[in-house]
Amino acid sequence: LPILSSFFIVYIISRLMSILGIKQRPSLPNLLCPYLSSKLSLDKPSLAMASTDFGNLVHKIPAAVFHPSSVQDIVSLLKYTYSHPLPFKIAARGRGHSCRGQAMVECGVVINMPSLSSTKPKLNINNGIDCDYYCKNNGGLNDNNGNVNVNVNGNGNDRIRVSQDPTLGFYYADVGGEQLWIDVLHATLGHGGGFAPVSWTDYLYLSVGGTLSNAGISGQSFRYGPQISNVYELDVVTGKGELFTCSKKKNSELFDAVLGGLGQFGIITRARIKLEAAPKRELEKELKGLNYIPEYIFTKEVSLVEFLNRVRKGELELHSKGLWEVPHPWLNIFIPKSQIQEFYHVIPNIIAKDNTDLAGPVLFYPLNRNKWDDKMSAVTPDEDVFYTLGLLHSSGFDDWEKLERKNEEILKYCDKNGIKIKQYLPHYTTKEDWVTHFGSKKWSIFQQRKTLFDPKMILSPGQNIFNN
Ligand code: FAD
């Protein structure tokens, strides 16, 4: 009798839901075709990996983790959810080096981007295959000249390919969105006389798609602009499941939207990155044209790789002590040059008020706005020169809130005193704050682009832009 009555209750509830027009969402593996569901992981370790990030402050458990073997798998997954009346949300996860759950998705699907490079198509060049079809359907890197991502560079990585423009002669690298910058560095250095991208991040174990979704800044950005200013072309899968190649000349709205777009418009599966001959020593070039006090120069002789990969050593040391996994309540802001004196108050009165609180590096350097492209989604202060300040806090597991309060105090002080800072790697919880962040004109463009490329608001909900 109890069994019969529980069946009856379930039947009544589902009848009521269908009469009221409430649709039930089937479980993910049942929802997807057998091929796509074979690429899902639902086990605890996979879900745990996708529900944490470098920040270790936010945890959201997805329904599943998706392991694409090709770009076509990502297209199929997005097409599928887009066509469903109750689409599940999706977030690409580069390496989860965000600090506040930006690559997470509660009850949705996290795409584990590194899977793209773990299954490599093995092809011989000029084997008569329809390359365009193959690349579009199997995730290869297509250089539009019919060349497929076979390992012609000898760098051992099929998803990084160095080429020369046949008419203009410049060099570029076609790189999978899941690739790490360290691998891009090694692959490009190994080509010919040695090439390298011109703009970097301080830490190279970040994914290309992840940094291009923010901006990608470091000590070279004042001269070359952020990484997003050094990209020629992208392949992007939109929130509708459409795969486009875009550039300043082709599908430029999508190109500009995605660069600095916080993962809101599409998933970057390939980026064509500007290369130059790798400098043997960088220092003279960087200092050229700068005013400085000569006594303040401290030099150390290192190779280019040692210099660019300088954070790795510290990372490994922290890992070995279990200190890499601690909470990281980071705050990164851009401060307009004209207000730097007013901002100065923050240093003794908030940042260094109780210096026992500070643990982790503080970064500070200038940037030139004319190296940024305002058509792209990334946001800067409205001034020719601005400074980036990075408070890269590490904390204990139960005292990160103290540092978070310090961050809030800084933001409040700037707000109260009219210091027009912009957050880099921004984090807001209300729509009003996002509108203020973008400014009304840029916000309206950002919204229009969302309607165009991800109308069902499927992508990167962890940024809290359209779903708060
Ligand atoms: P994730 O954290 O995995 O993703 C970030 C966002 O991008 C998410 O919203 C995600 O959904 C989206 N996303 C990921 N991949 C794609 C893709 N292929 N297409 C579209 N959207 C995608 N930043 C700097 O600019 N300069 C620095 O010097 C710098 N140093 C850092 C040092 C450390 C130790 C750490 C942890 C971070 C640093 N960052 C720096 C920040 C870094 O740029 C961001 O964390 C960035 O998100 C890259 O991390 P990720 O590749 O793991 O991306």
**What is the tens place of the pLDDT at every residue in 73-107?**
999 999 999 999 989 999 999 999 999 999 999 99
**Phi-psi domain of 351 (left: phi exceeds 0; alpha: psi -120 through 50; beta: other):** alpha
Helix (H) or strand (E) holding 212: helix 208-212
Residues forming a β-bridge with 333: 389, 423
Q: Whose CA is nearest to atom 31 of ligand 1?
A: 203
**Short-list 68, 81, 54, CA closest to 111:** 68
Three-state DSSP state, 337: helix
Residues across the chain:
468
Q: How far apart are CA 302 and CA 313, in angstroms?
A: 14
Q: How far apart are CA 106 and CA 207, in angstroms?
A: 22
Taking 70 as the pLDDT cut, the residues of the chain under it are: 1-4, 6-7, 10-11, 13-14, 17-26, 119-156, 355-358, 468
**Phi-psi domain of 134 (left: phi exceeds 0; alpha: psi -120 through 50; beta: other):** alpha
| Alpha-carbon torsion (443, 239, 159, 32), positive or negative | positive
Count other Cβ atoms within 10 Å, centred on residue 297: 9
Task: Please state the domain extents for the chain.
Answer: 2-117, 131-281, 315-449
Q: What is the CATH number of domain 131-281?
A: 3.30.465.10
**Short-list 181, 176, 276, 182, CA closest to 234:** 176
Count other Cβ atoms within 10 Å, centred on residue 44: 9
pTM score above 0.95: no
CA of 213 to the centre of ligand 1 (A): 7
**Phi-psi domain of 37 (left: phi exceeds 0; alpha: psi -120 through 50; beta: other):** alpha
Residue 210 structure tokens: 């992840």
CA of 379 to the centre of ligand 1 (A): 16
Q: Quick: pLDDT tens for 295-329.
A: 988 888 889 999 999 999 999 999 999 999 999 99
Helix (H) or strand (E) holding 267: strand 266-277
DSSP summary character for residue 153? T
CB 89 less than 6 A from any atom of ligand 1: no
Q: Whose CA is nearest to atom 32 of ligand 1?
A: 203
pLDDT of residue 279: 86
Q: How far apart are CA 450 and CA 465, in angstroms?
A: 11
Could you identify the atom of ligand 1 that is nearest to the CA of residue 268? 19
Count other Cβ atoms within 10 Å, centred on residue 28: 20
**Contact (Cβ atoms closer than 8 angstroms) between residue 378 and residue 215:** yes
Residue 437 structure tokens: 């962040």
Q: How far apart are CA 437 and CA 125, in angstroms?
A: 48
CB 65 less than 6 A from any atom of ligand 1: no
pLDDT of residue 215: 98
Asked if CATH classification 3.90.550.10 holds for the domain at 2-117, the reply, yes or no, is no
**Short-list 177, 163, 187, 228, CA closest to 71:** 177
CB 177 less than 6 A from any atom of ligand 1: yes
Mutate to test the pocket of ligand 1, among 65, 97, 182, 391 (most ligand atoms within 8 A of CB): 97
**Contact (Cβ atoms closer than 8 angstroms) between residue 227 and residue 200:** yes
Asked if CATH classification 3.40.50.300 holds for the domain at 315-449, the reply, yes or no, is no
**Contact (Cβ atoms closer than 8 angstroms) between residue 321 and residue 401:** no
CA of 25 to the centre of ligand 1 (A): 31
CB 465 less than 6 A from any atom of ligand 1: no
Helical H segments across 113-231, by residue range:
131-138, 181-189, 208-212, 221-224
CB 142 less than 6 A from any atom of ligand 1: no
**Short-list 264, 276, 259, CA closest to 102:** 264
pLDDT of residue 149: 37
CA of 76 to the centre of ligand 1 (A): 24
**Contact (Cβ atoms closer than 8 angstroms) between residue 65 and residue 108:** no
